[in-house]
A and B are shown apart, each in its own frame.
Chain A
Amino acid sequence: MADYKALEDLVIQVRRDILRQVHKVNSGHPGGSLGCAEFFVALYNELMDHNNDFSMDGENEDIFFLSNGHISPVFYSVLARSGYFPVEELNTFRLLDSRLQGHPTTHEGLPGIRMASGSLGQGISVSIGAAQTKKLNNDNHIVYTLCGDGELQEGQNWEAIMYAAGNKVDNLIVTIDLNGQQIDGSTENVLPLGNMKAKFEAFGWDVMDIEEGNNIEAVITGMKKAKEKTGKGKPICVLLHTVMGNGVDFMMHTHDWHGKAPNDEQLENALSQNPETLGDY
Chain B
Amino acid sequence: MKKYTDSGKKDTRSGFGDGLTELGKKNKDVVALCADLTGSLKMDEFKKNHPERFFQIGIAEANMIGIAAGMTIGGKIPFTGTFANFSTGRVYDQIRQSVAYSGKNVKICASHAGITLGEDGATHQILEDIGLMKMLPGMTVINTCDYNQTKAATIAVAEHEGPVYLRFGRPKVANFTPADQKFEIGKAVQLQEGTDVTIIATGHLVWEALQAAETLHENGISADVINIHTIKPLDDEAILKSVKKTGCVVTAEEHNYLGGLGESVARVLSTQHPAPQEFVATQDTFGESGTPEQLMDKYGLNASAIVAAAKKVIARK
Q: Which residues of A pack against B, CB within 8 Å?
A: 56-59, 63, 65, 105-107, 114-119, 122, 124-134, 136-137, 139, 155-156, 159-160, 162-163, 166-167
Contacts and interface: CB of A to CB of B under 8 A. Distances in A.
Given A130-B73, A163-B57, 6 more contacts: A105-B101, A115-B104, A119-B96, A122-B66, A125-B67, A129-B69
Given A122-B97, A137-B75, A105 B102 contact: yes
A265 to B, nearest CB: 37
Contacts of A106: 101-103
B51 to A, nearest CB: 12
A160 B102 contact: no
Interface string B50-82: 001101011010111111111111111010000
Contact of A129 (B58, B66, B75): B66
B52 A136 contact: yes
B63 A119 contact: no
Contacts of B120: none
Nearest to A131: B70
Interface of B: 31, 52-53, 55, 57-58, 60, 62-76, 78, 93-94, 96-98, 101-104
24 contacts: A56-B73, A58-B73, A58-B74, A106-B101, A106-B103, A107-B101, A107-B103, A115-B73, A115-B104, A116-B98, A118-B97, A122-B98, A126-B66, A126-B67, A126-B98, A129-B71, A130-B73, A133-B70, A136-B53, A159-B58, A162-B60, A163-B60, A163-B67, A166-B58
A26 B66 CA distance: 32
Contact of A126 (B52, B53, B58, B69): B69
Contact of A114 (B63, B73, B93): B73
A28 B96 CA distance: 22
Contacts of A125: 62-67, 69-70, 94, 98
Contact of A133 (B63, B66, B75): B75
A133 B58 contact: no
A130 B74 contact: yes
Nearest to B56: A167
A248 B94 CA distance: 35
Q: 8 tightest A-B contacts by CB?
A: A129-B70, A125-B66, A159-B60, A133-B74, A159-B63, A129-B67, A126-B70, A129-B71
A128 B101 contact: no
Contacts of B74: 57-59, 130, 133-134, 136-137, 139
Given A122-B94, A130-B70, A136 B102 contact: no
Contacts of A58: 73-74
A250 B295 CA distance: 65
Nearest to B64: A125
Nearest to B35: A159
Nearest to B52: A136
B53 A156 contact: no
B28 to A, nearest CB: 9
Nearest to A58: B73
Contacts of B60: 156, 159-160, 162-163
A115 B75 contact: no
Most buried by A among B52, B53, B96, B103: B103
A132 to B, nearest CB: 6
Contacts of A126: 66-67, 69-70, 98
A57 B70 contact: no
Given A115-B102, A119-B97, A126-B98, A63 B67 contact: no
A173 B58 CA distance: 22
Most buried by B among A57, A65, A132, A160: A132
Nearest to B33: A129
Nearest to B73: A130
Contact of B73 (A57, A105, A107, A116): A57
A116 B71 contact: no
A162 B62 CA distance: 13
Contacts of B73: 56-58, 63, 114-115, 129-130, 133
A156 B57 CA distance: 12
A185 B112 CA distance: 44
A117 B94 contact: no
Contact of B70 (A56, A118, A128, A159): A128
Contact of A116 (B55, B57, B64, B101): B101
Given A56-B73, A105-B101, A115-B98, A136 B31 contact: yes
Contacts of B63: 125, 128, 156, 159-160, 163
Contact of A132 (B58, B67, B97, B103): B67
A81 to B, nearest CB: 23
